[in-house]
Structure 1
Amino acid sequence: MIEWQSLFRPYILERGFDYYDEKRVIDSRLIGDTIHALVDGNETYMVEIEGLEDDPPAFYCECPYAEEGNHCKHMAAVLFEYEAGKAALSSRSAERNLRYYQREIDRAIRRFTGYESYLEYDQVTPFVQKMNEVLTNTLFPLTKMGDYQTAFQAVNYLVREVDQIEMNDEEGELYQLADLCQSIWMSALQQADSQEKQGMYQWFASQLKHSTIHFCQWEIAAIVEKYFG
């Protein structure tokens, strides 16, 4: 790869280094000659840098600045991370990654509930919308990056936490949330090997047999029948 720093405007390069130094590259892995990463900016953005041996490689980021055809600070942060030798094997263990996503879920939930386990009626819709955003923008991209185990466990955590919240869902908005959870579970199952699938099955089966969780019960039963029936 050419001197990649020359592809970035100086102030973008500086902000990219700041993001790297602040550990905003929350997940980074090298698959073939492509870096797949998530960067914590105003939102969590998926970044891909493909063709590391090419001059230049192909850059992709979901942020608005990159969508206008620019090389952004998120891309620069990922390359600083890569140069530090952290992309091939992420410096964060799978357990640490999971804790990060659990904290993100906790923060999103507390935004609406505080430290209570109850939602006022007029908070149900914005709460469900926020949970949808977490699933769509934060957890689902993990399955695209091949980190389906973290996505699977993070969705399990979200399901348990949402189930503990007392709310009046007269409009049935939780059905959409449950459908997104099911989509991520299915994506994880489609990528998992036989041993990993067995571990996932044990979690699903335990929810049906022993758990007091009610949220997503229909979706869990459907998955067990489809993949393990």
Structure 2
Amino acid sequence: MDWQKYFTLKTLDRGLAYYENGNVLELMQISHGYEAVVQSDSGNEYEVNIEIENDELIMNCDCIYGQEMGYCKHMAAVLYAVEEGAEMIQQHDLSKLINRLSTQKLREILLSVADQRAVKYKLQLLAENDPQTVLKQRLNQIIRKYSIAIDELESRDYYNFSEEVLALLEQDIYEIDDSQWECKAECVRYVLDAMHRLNLDEELDDMWMIFNTCYEMLGAILMKDESRLGWMKKKLNPTYYHEMLETIELGV
């Protein structure tokens, strides 16, 4: 079945990344299709239902994009999982495998992949007690890289720009440990401040994804514990605060 026809190329790319990163947590075949649970990079879990009728797909996802704007990356991730017929490795199973390896073996595995640029960057982040400096430098590099394209409103460069910023948010900032939640929130706020300084149009789909992800992540960080409300009231821009609440209420 040509299921990819239902999605834009951008959505397919993001769905494939979700599948390859293991964001499809549960997948069950039912009488007329599939039911699944997909986790966003900010930690929210969404239920996806896919039914097959006369070689056509009827798909639903309880994220806001799936409900209001069409076929989403969570649906695409599930279909990639179905297509590949991959067995889901639960996190606790992966932990068991790692626990069986010696410290020396784990070190050897890490060194074998450490030459990859992305891995080097990740190690640099993990080695920092306060990763804000590294992350801010990376964001500023991205902005400088696309500054001309942003001024000239080149649509393809807008897409590439948004993908790099989203990767920074969903991979690097998201993985900061919750024990450093203030650092994590500051990094997200820094991204928001930078996007507003660029006067980017939030209505554009690529830019909407950046702002929406920021508000979603802030909500996940700050609403987790009442003790964090003081930081929120003191440091969070009132506009960000209201946008964050609206995003949470919509269940994005």
TM-score (norm 1): 0.50
Q: Which has the higher helix share?
A: 2
TM-score (norm 2): 0.46
